[in-house]
Structure 1
Amino acid sequence: MAALRAGLLGLGMMGRHHARILRDVEGVELVAVADPGGDPHRVATGMTILPDVDALIDAGIEIAVVAIPTRFHADAALALAQAGVHTLVEKPIADDTATGNRVAEAFERHGLVGAVGHVERFNPALQQLRSRLANGDAGDVYQIATRRQSSFPGRIGDVGVAKDLATHDIDLTAWVAQGTYRSVSAQTAHKSGREHEDMISITGRLSNGIIANHLINWLSPMKERVTVVTGERGTFIADTATGDLTFYANGTVPLEWESVSTFRGVSEGDVTRFAFAKKEPLRAELEAFRDSVLGVQTELSTMSEAAHTLEVVESALRSAGAGGELVITGRVTV
């Protein structure tokens, strides 16, 4: 079978990584790249740098990756849908939920694969976590808490930390828990003098009753990417920066040393750090995009799921402004 002809729209910080991997994914040939801003990272390597999405379509591509600023996602994706091109759009899917739903419906209407780059689904620690939770290793899951903090990235100017980073945590939590968000509330802060928020704290409840908590900011000198799942049998901790997964089991053997029992807690049991293969998440995501176009069921975030994620984030931002909990009512097609 001939390789899928791929086009890449956007050669910035994310685009350069997509270009690197697309050149190396079996069954895919990167045949065209486009960016009106040129090629700052010099990843085109011999290819003509096309000016826009229309020129990319004219190159005869079959699949496309869109890695341009958020405000341009919808127009590019809709043009690609109209041209019959299977597309993976970097997250978030669009500027707002209504536009995201419109993009999702366009790809559904044309019978095309439309996916969004929620790459944490392909983090090896989270894939292991999801599998083990589905297997019942934690028993009933009570709570999923995430922490995602780092210093401000100068490349982000069109959205705040909620749409740029919280979308990762909302999507991975819903995916790991295999449920959608039912309600959400939040608080935000603006500390860096920018238009958009640089800190957000979100509390929510999923459709399956699990409580979710997310702490996200661009104000910390310490980079942290952690997901903590607490269940009836113990606690999983996934470090998505390193791809490590650890399980802290509830204890079954009482400690006889009273002072240690008081300090550690009477239910502390074995601690297990799991060993497993660790593929680069973006490579795994692009391979899944290829497979999905070829008719294989994958774990890619659909555009409908991504629109739900965006609705949750927008509801959190509205809650922060209004000071109350908001109910999530959007449509999700899995």
Structure 2
Amino acid sequence: MSATLRAGLIGLGAMGRNHARVLNSLDGVDLVAIMDPAPNAAGPQGVPVVPDLDQLLAKRLDYAVVACPTALHEEVGLRLAAAGVHALIEKPLAPSVQAAAKLADAFEQAGLVGAVGHIERYNPSLQSLRSRLEAGELGDMYQVVTRRQGPFPGRIADVGVVMDLATHDIDLTAWVTGRDYVNVAARTVSRSGRPHEDMVSAVAALTDGLVANHLVNWLSPFKERSTVITGERGSFIADTLTADLTFYANAAMSTEWEALRAFRGVAEGDMIRYAIPKREPLLVEHERFRDAVEGKESDIVTMRQGMRTVEVAEAVLRSAKDGSAVEVNGHR
């Protein structure tokens, strides 16, 4: 492998253009070409755009970033694996668990680095939150509540809000807490006239008794990206729009009423907003993947992890369709 990695990009949609911007300035990487079938597609100055995958593969790529529609991830990813090209595939990894498993198998069998673009893992607020949870600053964890709301993004056409947005919350919840999903119960609605759901409310049980609630929609005229984890010593609130992390500590609530002493209540204590370094999550994601391709120890989202997120998302959709709680088979 050359000292400078030769990278390619597949897809110049809204997310693809962001990938192109980062790839074009990433240390140790040369963005040699972009594939997009649109006749007027244009990338960064000096980077050629080719209309098909054969022409992109002819550029002798070391790795590729896949930012095309989710429905094409399996086909494109398998072609890359067969060609010996490492790949970072945008989330969700695939539209089904079966397709995600094929991709994970193909990259593992070829000895290639395969990763999934779950960008929230690299948000500074969540990075700090995970470190603090691992250090035991919250004590026992009781509940995770995520809220991800905003207007409909015109870039999305092939999946609903569960696969597009809720997969962020599913992945970050499992990653931040270190717990696996056991079962989910969900309800979805479609109010925008599109064939896919545009709102979901889900309740999930994770291992060790942790409870999670996810509210996700494309129907709110404001943007909200909030993760609240409540536990023994208080609550952490991560705002991934501003990359802020705040801690609300419990204060002891004493009572002289003997009949109520058995109930351990809490009261408002100190509030701390942490000062944390704030680097662009997409840049950090690309740096971690580049390092992995170079054979260095690196914190990437593996395709097996991406597959488990798709498995939970499928369970959410199945629960909403059947009106019952659904077991998640992949929990350990």
TM-score range, shorter chain: over 0.9
**Which shifted more, 205-214 or 319-328?**
205-214
Matched with 1:9 is 10
**Distance 1:287-1:38 versus aligned 2 partners, 3 A rule:** farther
After TM superposition, give the deviation of residue 68 of structure 1 in Å.
0.5
Provide the C-alpha distance between the structure 1 equivalents of 2:174 and 2:5, rounded to a whole number of angstroms: 31
Q: How does 1:1-334 map to 2 (within 5 A)?
A: 2-40=3-41, 42-252=42-252, 266-330=266-330
Matched with 1:261 is none
Q: 1:80 corresponds to which letter in structure 2?
A: L
The alignment partner of 1:194 has SS state of coil
The alignment partner of 2:216 has SS state of strand
Q: How many residues align?
A: 322
Deviation string 1:86-143 (CA, Å, 9 cap, x unpaired) is 1000011111111111111100111110001000000000000000000000000011
Provide the C-alpha distance between the structure 1 equivalents of 2:186 and 2:253, rounded to a whole number of angstroms: 40
After TM superposition, give the deviation of residue 46 of structure 1 in Å.
2.4
Provide the C-alpha distance between the structure 2 equivalents of 1:8 and 1:117, rounded to a whole number of angstroms: 13
Matched with 2:258 is none
After TM superposition, give the deviation of residue 253 of structure 1 in Å.
7.7
Cα contact 1:304–1:331 (8 A) shared by 2? no
Provide the C-alpha distance between the structure 1 equivalents of 2:100 and 2:64, rounded to a whole number of angstroms: 18
**TM-score of the pair, normalised by structure 1:** 0.93
After TM superposition, give the deviation of residue 297 of structure 1 in Å.
2.8
Q: 1:230 corresponds to which letter in structure 2?
A: T
Cα contact 1:96–1:310 (8 A) shared by 2? yes
**TM-score of the pair, normalised by structure 2:** 0.94
Cα contact 1:11–1:39 (8 A) shared by 2? no
Deviation string 1:296-320 (CA, Å, 9 cap, x unpaired) is 2333211111111011011111101
After TM superposition, give the deviation of residue 254 of structure 1 in Å.
6.5
Cα contact 2:107–2:113 (8 A) shared by 1? yes
Deviation string 1:31-84 (CA, Å, 9 cap, x unpaired) is 1111011454x4242232111222211110001100001111111100000111
When the two chains are superposed, the root-mean-square deviation of aligned CA atoms in Å is 1.6
Cα contact 1:34–1:49 (8 A) shared by 2? yes
Q: Alignment identity in percent?
A: 55
Cα contact 2:186–2:202 (8 A) shared by 1? yes
Matched with 2:261 is none
**Distance 1:229-1:293 versus aligned 2 partners, 3 A rule:** same
Provide the C-alpha distance between the structure 2 equivalents of 1:222 and 1:214, rounded to a whole number of angstroms: 17
Provide the C-alpha distance between the structure 1 equivalents of 2:132 and 2:274, rounded to a whole number of angstroms: 11
Cα contact 2:31–2:47 (8 A) shared by 1? no
After TM superposition, give the deviation of residue 27 of structure 1 in Å.
1.1
Q: 1:34 corresponds to which letter in structure 2?
A: M
- Gapped regions of structure 2 (runs ≥ 5): 256-264
Provide the C-alpha distance between the structure 2 equivalents of 1:116 and 1:65, rounded to a whole number of angstroms: 10
Cα contact 1:198–1:219 (8 A) shared by 2? yes
